[in-house]
């Protein structure tokens, strides 16, 4: 356990230290120079990071909301079904367990302007081809759609498991008392499912900050900065621009943003539970 | 009657959704067997060819097969290490009855770390590993992957370990079993299912890892996911190779899905809900 803690803690300390330093190459060796708050100044003036943060927030909000709505709807549909369920779950697990980089490859192929099956189908229907990943106005939407495709099955599985652990007696009692299906849904299902929904939300919001592989393969943040997300900005700052110090500050700030969003959602859950 | 129609409509919706999920996957899998001309014309029907996969496996240097071995070695070694630590840690915690009050704190820390994007770590690791000469070595990749997956794995395995009744361990102790015997003959059989589920998920996550491999490896230690991006440069995409390598890279996941679906579901649900 100690070893683990070391492996987790050392990088954090290292990040903290580096955020006050600049790394320079001198005679083939790395030299660390203390620069105080200079990295923080560069960071707050970095135009791309803030665009990336905004994109990430938009991405997380829209994608997670869609996943929740679609996943919940499907879970409600499936919760009464018995036949074919193992096959269904097997199919839905596929996007979850495939390497994310392959999800990217799949959609590169499907969304391609010239030879993607989507545009070819549109063409066959007499509709104009759309440059899904190349048009700055569409690219973020396309990436969101891919994420919804990728993670809705996960949301669905969580919510389905939640639905099936609900007590049947309460529904029988409600039906006896003459509650309509909508009333049952509104006053039984939603409140009982609230904790599950919130946990799913926390998971998906936090994990959508992690999105990197798919973006790397699909758009590399482009065109322009239309699909720039924080992970990609950090990656580029650190590894392409060799600004390790600024990259460290970005990392720290991003972790803080994630922690804050998680805390906000968890508090929402508490408040609802208290009410 | 209305209920029946509703039911049928529901089934159709679910079936359509399943099709929506599976079709893109089928599309890339079929592309792996297409000739270049079929890919460029986006043909749905085509004469299958094994040329892409053969070319991928048997030509080129450093070659896809070496990427495959790199991935396999890293994934197997790192999973083995993670599981070794997890099994012992889970046993220690449940045997010492520490889980109840140490549990929440420890698991909270684990959860917190599993939420941090890997990209925020790799920069730091890159600098550290450079100083000790671990960059671009398989050992470095294994260490980084172990560190990345341990929090989640610990969380999963301790959650599963909680299902093992402590009374049984006490009983075994009274009967004169040594600590290692208790671990080997009482704890492991009881926790087997949970640990299998953990191991499968950890293996998949490490196999799928891209961020760590991208930043800490170079030519000789390249793993599959990074190799795939090599086929998909922005200017020119080699679709046949990209599809064929994606198909091969998916094989472990698909095999595990066939033989271990119930473990995967269990692991995912426990990981998220408890």
pLDDT of residue A181: 77
pLDDT of residue A7: 57
Q: 3-class DSSP state for residue A29?
A: strand
CA B107 to centroid of chain Cα atoms? 20
User: Which range, of A64-68, B169-173, B230-234, averages the lowest pLDDT?
Assistant: B230-234
Residue from the list A89, A109, A199 with its beta carbon closest to the beta carbon of B272: A199
Q: Does B228 touch chain A (CB under 8 A)?
A: yes
Closest-CA residue of A relative to B118 is A210
- Give contacts of B31 with chain A, Cβ < 8 Å: 109
Contact of B147 with chain A, judged by CB distance below 8 Å, is answered with: yes
pLDDT of residue B111: 67
A176 preceded by a cis bond (ω within 30 of 0):
no
Q: What is the three-class DSSP state of B39? A: helix
Decide if pLDDT at B2 tops 70.
no
Partners of A24 in the β-ladder: A31
**Residue B22 to residue A94, Cβ atoms within 8 A:** yes
pLDDT at residue A39, as a whole number = 64
Low-confidence ranges of chain A (pLDDT < 70): 1-45, 221-226, 240-245, 269-275
Residue B230: CB atoms within 10 Å:
14
Handedness of CA B219, B223, B227, B229 (dihedral sign): negative
Contact B115 A258 (CB under 8 A): yes
Q: Which residue of B has its CA nearest to A11?
A: B124
pLDDT in tens, B27-64: 777 777 777 666 666 666 667 677 777 777 666 555 77
- pLDDT, residue A45, reads 65
The pTM of this model reads: 0.80
- CB contacts < 8 A, A to B, total 217
pLDDT digits (tens, 9 = 90+) for B113-132: 666 777 767 777 777 777 77
What pLDDT is stored for residue A26 in this prediction? Answer: 41
CA distance A238 to B120: 10
- Is the minimum CB–CB distance between B250 and chain A shorter than 8 Å? yes
Sequence-distant (≥ 6) Cβ neighbours of residue B235 within 8 angstroms: none
* Cβ-defined contact of A99 to B225 (cutoff 8 Å): yes
Q: Bigger pLDDT: B234 or B120?
A: B120
The end-to-end CA distance of chain B, in Å, is 40
Which of A8-17, B87-96, B193-202 is the least confident region?
A8-17
Contact across the interface for B14 and A74, Cβ inside 8 Å: yes
At a CB cut-off of 8 Å and minimum separation 6, what does A47 contact?
Answer: none
CA B205 to chain centroid: 2
Tell me, what's the pLDDT at B133?
Answer: 72
Measured at the CA of B45, the angle between CA B40 and CA B50, to 5 degrees, comes to 75
- Return the residue in A4, A76, A251 with the most chain B beta carbons within 10 A, the one to mutate for interface testing: A4
pLDDT at A3: 55
pLDDT for A205: 80
Nearest alpha carbon to residue A244 among A41, A36, A28, A22:
A22
Q: Which pLDDT belongs to residue A261?
A: 77
Contact: A99, B208; criterion CB under 8 Å: yes
Give the B window 16-55 contacts with A, CB below 8 Å.
17-18, 20-22, 24-25, 27-28, 31, 39-42
Q: How far apart are CA A267 and CA A272, in angstroms?
A: 8
Sequence-ordered list of residues with C-beta below 8 angstroms from that of B210, at least 6 positions apart, any chain: A99, A100, A101, A212, A213, A216, B225, B226, B229
Q: Which residue of B has its CA nearest to A107?
A: B24
Average of per-residue pLDDT values in chain B = 75
Question: Taking residues B164-188, what's their average pLDDT?
Answer: 76
Question: In angstroms, rounded to a whole number, what is the distance separating the alpha carbons of residues A208 and A222?
Answer: 18
pLDDT of B74 above 80:
yes
**pLDDT above 60 for B237:** yes
> What does the pLDDT read at residue A29?
47
In this predicted structure, what is the pLDDT of residue B272? 62
What was the pLDDT predicted at B176? 75
Mean pLDDT of B190-197: 81
């Amino acid at each position: 356990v100690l070893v683990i803690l070391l492996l987790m803690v050392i990088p954090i300390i290292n990040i903290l230290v580096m955020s006050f330093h600049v790394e320079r190459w001198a005679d083939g060796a790395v030299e660390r120079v203390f620069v105080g708050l200079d990295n923080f100044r560069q960071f707050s003036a970095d135009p791309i990071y803030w665009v990336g943060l905004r994109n990430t927030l938009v991405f997380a909000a829209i994608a997670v909301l869609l996943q929740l709505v679609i996943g919940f709807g499907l879970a409600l549909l499936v919760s009464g079904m018995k036949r074919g369920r193992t096959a269904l779950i097997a199919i839905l697990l596929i996007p979850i367990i495939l390497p994310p980089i392959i999800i990217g490859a799949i959609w590169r192929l499907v969304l391609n302007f010239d030879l993607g099956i989507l545009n070819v189908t549109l063409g066959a229907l007499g509709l104009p081809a759309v440059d899904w990943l190349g048009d700055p106005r569409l690219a973020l939407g396309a990436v969101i759609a891919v994420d919804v495709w990728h993670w809705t099955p996960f949301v669905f599985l969580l919510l389905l498991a939640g639905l099936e652990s609900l007590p049947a007696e309460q529904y029988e009692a409600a039906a006896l008392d003459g509650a309509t299906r909508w009333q049952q849904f509104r006053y039984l299902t939603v409140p009982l499912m609230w904790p599950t929904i919130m946990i799913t939300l926390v998971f998906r919001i936090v994990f959508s900050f992690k999105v990197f592989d798919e973006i790397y393969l699909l758009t590399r943040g482009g065109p322009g900065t239309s699909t720039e997300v924080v992970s990609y900005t950090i990656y580029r700052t650190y590894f392409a621009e060799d600004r390790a110090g600024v990259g460290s500050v970005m990392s720290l700030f991003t972790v803080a943003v994630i922690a804050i969003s998680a805390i906000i959602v968890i508090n929402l859950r508490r408040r609802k539970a208290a009410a | 009657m209305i209920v029946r129609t509703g039911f049928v409509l529901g089934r159709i919706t679910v079936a359509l959704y399943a099709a929506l999920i599976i079709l893109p996957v089928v599309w890339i899998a079929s592309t792996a067997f297409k000739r270049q001309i079929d890919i460029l014309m986006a043909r749905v029907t085509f004469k299958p060819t094994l040329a892409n996969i053969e070319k991928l496996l048997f030509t080129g240097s450093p070659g896809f097969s070496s990427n495959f071995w790199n991935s396999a070695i890293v994934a197997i070694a790192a999973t083995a290490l993670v599981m070794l630590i997890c099994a012992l840690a889970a046993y220690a915690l449940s045997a010492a009855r520490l889980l109840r009050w140490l549990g929440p704190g420890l698991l909270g820390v684990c959860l917190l770390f599993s939420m941090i994007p890997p990209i925020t770590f790799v920069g730091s690791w890159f600098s550290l590993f450079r100083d000790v000469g671990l960059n671009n070595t398989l050992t470095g990749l294994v260490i980084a992957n172990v560190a990345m997956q341990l929090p989640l794995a610990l969380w999963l395995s301790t959650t599963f370990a909680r299902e093992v009744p402590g009374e049984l361990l006490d009983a075994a102790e009274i009967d004169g079993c040594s600590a290692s015997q208790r671990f080997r003959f009482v704890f492991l059989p009881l926790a087997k299912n949970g640990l299998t589920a953990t191991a499968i998920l950890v293996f998949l996550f490490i196999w799928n890892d891209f961020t760590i491999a991208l930043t800490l490896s170079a030519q000789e230690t390249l793993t599959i996911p990074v190799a795939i991006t090599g086929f998909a440069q922005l200017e020119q995409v080699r679709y046949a190779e990209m599809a064929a390598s994606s198909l091969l890279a998916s094989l472990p996941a698909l095999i595990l899905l066939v033989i271990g679906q119930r473990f995967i579901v269990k692991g995912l649900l426990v990981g998220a809900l408890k």
